[in-house]
Amino acid sequence: MAYAVPKPTDYSKEALEKAFTECVAACLTDAAAVHCDAELKAFRDRWMARKSGILTQVNELWLKGAPKEAKGLAGFWVNALKARITEIIDGAHVSGDDSAGAAESVDITLPGVRRPIGAEHPVMRTMHEIVGVFQKLGYSVAEGPVVETDYYNFEALNFPPNHPARDTQDTLFIAGQQSKPQRERLLLRTHTSPVQIRTMEKMRPPIRIVIPGTVHRNDPPDASHSPMFHQIEGLAVDTSITFGDLKGTLDHAMKALFGSSVKTHFRPSFFPFTEPSAELYVTCFICGGSGRRGPDDAPCRPCKQTGWIEVLGCGMVDPNVFEFVKDNGYDPKKVSGFAFGMGVDRLALLKYGVDDLQYFFQGDVRFLQQFG
């Protein structure tokens, strides 16, 4: 039988409580009789409809119709009723549905819902692995801003204003900086090397740090370029650091990363902030250094058949760089150091045999799942 809201004649606590209980019981009975979506909607409307729903009627009859002195108590029961009815309605469902009475009957013997755990992105995984190798050697990790000033990205790294070496960096400049002095103008850092200076300004020698981070260059995206990529910088400064220390450290790191059979090889190069400068090559870990691979001796692509792969730039910190942080204990006559910088994305490409750098940045789950 359909429930009709009674008009209270008695506003005592007992009478109101009884009316409350009857109304809740009626609502529960009504909810249990819902068998399809249409009935569920009708049930909700019957109780909640603004104009003439049961709750509205309760409000009219119990509260508005209450004598002045009973309004407080009536209000209390009307509010309690609204809360309880809303609860029943929110939990109402088409019966026969599996979730029926879910709260009361959880089957704890069923297997739980498994949430897929994400996987570390291959570039991040490579980055952490490289950082880990240096941490074991006693290096700590430093970071710096991606939006950098001309001073840190260039000037303090011994790239004087207008020097042609700046052209090699394909810099993306932040717009609207012309009114500032050149050294304060903002740009997207083209390498992690500015954090060398930032760290030396903060920490006195000796230091050993690695600096992982993103960098930007004005390169259109293709299979081996991306306008955003990742680098890991290294810097060691002490009183008697030599090129031999640089060689030994990097040789050890390459063996730790690519296996103990890789050989390293240094070729002269140029960077304004290191002197002498070098590029480090490792024996190609795809073809083992022979330049050919597979049963039919196919030419090895990653090393362009040379048997060697370039992995980083490095060198001894140029004394001109120390001049910029001299006041913090870096007197170029007293300290020496080495620095290196490597492209993480390229190493991840080689390590995982991926043939297009763009896969790393497109977020395609089919690609990323393979690293899970």
The answer to whether residue 339 forms part of the interface with ligand PHE (CB under 6 A) is: yes
The answer to whether residue 43 forms part of the interface with ligand PHE (CB under 6 A) is: no
Identify the H or E element spanning 64.
Answer: none
The nearest distance, CB 348 to ligand PHE, in angstroms, is 17
Among 59, 193, 199, 336, binds ligand PHE (CB under 6 A): 193
The residues near 113 (Cβ < 8 Å, ≥ 6 apart) are: none
Q: Which of residues 278-317 bind ligand PHE (CB under 6 A)?
A: 313-315
Using only C-alpha atoms, what is the Rg of the chain? 36
The nearest distance, CB 350 to ligand PHE, in angstroms, is 17
Residue with tokens 């977020």: 363
Q: Quick one: tokens of 159? A: 């790239």
Bridge-based pairing of strands 207-216 and 140-141 is: parallel
**C-beta closer to ligand PHE: residue 190 or 283:** 190
Among 271, 322, 330, 360, binds ligand PHE (CB under 6 A): 271
In the chain, the amino acid numbered 336 is S
**C-beta closer to ligand PHE: residue 191 or 293:** 191
The answer to whether residue 191 forms part of the interface with ligand PHE (CB under 6 A) is: yes
Q: How far apart are CA 162 and CA 158, in angstroms?
A: 12
The answer to whether residue 272 forms part of the interface with ligand PHE (CB under 6 A) is: no
* Binding residues with ligand PHE: total (CB under 6 A): 11
DSSP structure string for 242-276: -HHHHHHHHHHHHHHHH-TT--EEEEEEEETTEEE
**C-beta closer to ligand PHE: residue 59 or 193:** 193
Core vs surface per residue 258-280: b (16+ CB within 10 A) or e:
beeebebebeeeebbbbeebbbb
**C-beta closer to ligand PHE: residue 198 or 293:** 198
Q: Which of residues 228-267 bind ligand PHE (CB under 6 A)?
A: 233
Closest CA to 240 of 155, 333, 318, 170: 333
**C-beta closer to ligand PHE: residue 307 or 315:** 315
**C-beta closer to ligand PHE: residue 20 or 340:** 340
Q: Are 338 and 316 in contact (CB under 8 A)?
A: yes
The answer to whether residue 144 forms part of the interface with ligand PHE (CB under 6 A) is: no
Among 340, 344, 345, 360, binds ligand PHE (CB under 6 A): 340
The answer to whether residue 274 forms part of the interface with ligand PHE (CB under 6 A) is: yes
**C-beta closer to ligand PHE: residue 59 or 158:** 158
Q: Are 131 and 210 in contact (CB under 8 A)?
A: yes
The stretch among 43-51, 62-70, 74-82, 333-341 that binds ligand PHE (CB under 6 A) is 333-341
Closest CA to 84 of 20, 7, 16: 20
The nearest distance, CB 287 to ligand PHE, in angstroms, is 26
Interface positions with ligand PHE (CB under 6 A)? 191, 193, 233, 271, 274, 313-315, 339-341
